Amino acid sequence: MAQFKFYLEKDDNELILHYDNETSELRYENEDIVVAQNVFKDWAPFYKMDAGKRELTKIKIQLGLKCNYSCEYCSQRFIPRNPDDTYIHEVPVGHEEDGKIAQEIKKFVERFDKISIGKELTFELWGGEPFLYFEKMQLVTEQLHKKYPEAKFSVITNGSLLNQEIINFIQQYKFSVSISHDGVGQKTRGPDPLEDSDKKKWLFKLRNLLVPENRFSVNAMIHKDNDSRTEVQRWIRNNFGVVPIGEGGTVDAYDEGGASMSWNTPEEHIAYRRKAFREVMDRKIDQFSILHQKLENFITSLKEQRPSSSLGQKCSMDRPDNMAVDLNGNVITCQNVTISSNNPDDISHHIGHMDDLEAIIIKTGTHWSDREECPKCPVLHLCQGSCLFLSPGSKEWKLSCDNSYSDNVVWLAAALYELTGHILYRIEGEGLPEYRQDVFGFETKAYAGIP
């Protein structure tokens, strides 16, 4: 692990802090601690992805990867589909396949008789576009609700297929719904459903029903071509109203689409960090849940002196109580892959089966603790290792790591400002390249012209 020296400034007064990313200790030069400890815990070690699955609290059900949109940075678009990836409306009228699907879902739900469930349980229904698989959704949700009446349900959708039947279903089972929409940058996702009067009508009907119960959000992603959270929030506020904005982080570069939307030069990274930090300081991104989540989580890690040994991956798929599964009971690395797909090292994403959850080992990913860069990184506790199945050393990993660093160093600076009233301008630590040390480029003449 690593230690860092943070240089901060306020009105020409310099403040130097020392940070240990292994112990989450933040101290002044005189060794006094910056944040008083208020919680003491015996932290459990992180899971090295070989602990099986048990006491499940979050189950992500992959219905299929077909979608009616084509997002430029989508993590699913290069994933091979399973041969049986179908939805009931594709089945010819009078065909027996619809009855077969119902039987498969019945068998899927029966498999839960043999697995252990935690105290609270959430089912996430995933696509592609999940409402292409609406009949499957209805069947599996009805049966799981009967089995687990206290369980919660959620879904992420592009919002283009809503109708009264779907809204009734969402209300009946109290789904939380997130609409994937990039606001002003929606063109990189596909059509804007708000530009279609019929789609807009159903979207707003759903919004009006769910917002009072805190079951509605709009999920937006940040990237090179959509780099202003202020502009995204302004657009969403003007079009959806004052609703929570989920996601809100930078994209990972899974393929050339994601790579084209990544910052590629030190100058581009510095420009993004400056803009993002100004937007935090201007307090114009308050609808973004990531703002509160990042600051609160990091400051809490300092208060609790949360050790890196307890830190899991950002997606939580390394946790034994989180599982992604298809309707045949196949356990997969995460909801964005299939049993027909391999990771970049050609290892199958089919990591096990519901019939033997104790045997599950995630061999398709690299835990942050096994990457060269992560243990030496000052934003480890904010980033949590980026995507686990990006191959170490690959172009995609480097771009994703750089994207995540530039985003999370902004949250780090915001948290330190909240604690001290000083602005972070430099981080010193072993192995950090200069464009990561010079956080906002204030010390490099070549960056002087960047706004």
Reported as type and span, the H/E element at residue 221 is strand 216-222
Whether the predicted pLDDT of 191 surpasses 60:
yes
Residue with token string 């939380």: 176
Query: Biggest alpha carbon distance in the chain?
Result: 79
- The CB density around residue 96, as the number of other CB atoms within 10 Å, is 8
How, if at all, do strands 13-20 and 25-28 pair? antiparallel
Rounded distance, CA 285 to CA 275, Å? 12
| Strand 3-10 to 423-428 pairing | antiparallel
Nearest in space to 126 (alpha carbons), one of 93, 156, 98: 156
> Per residue in 237-270, pLDDT tens?
999 999 999 999 999 998 888 999 999 999 999 9
Q: Amino acid identity, residue 197?
A: S
In this prediction, residue 39 carries a pLDDT of 62
Amino acid 87: pLDDT: 79
Which pLDDT band holds residue 131 (cuts at 50, 70, 90)?
very high
Pair 447, 40: CB distance under 8 Å? no
- pLDDT attached to residue 41: 67
Long-range contacts of 113-120 (CB under 8 A, 24+ apart): 114/354, 114/355, 115/53, 115/54, 115/56, 115/354, 115/357, 116/54, 116/55, 116/56, 117/55, 117/56, 117/57, 117/148, 118/55, 118/56, 118/57, 118/321, 119/57, 120/57, 120/150, 120/152
pLDDT cut 70: percent of the chain above it: 97
Residues pairing with 126 in the sheet: 62
pLDDT band at 281; cut points 50, 70, 90: very high
Q: Work out the average pLDDT over 133-162.
A: 97
Q: What is the mean pLDDT of residues 334-358?
A: 93
Lowest pLDDT segment from 89-93, 129-133, 401-405: 89-93
- pLDDT for 449: 86
How high is the pLDDT of residue 9? Answer: 97
pLDDT for residue 95: 56
Residue 24's pLDDT is 94
pTM, entire model:
0.94
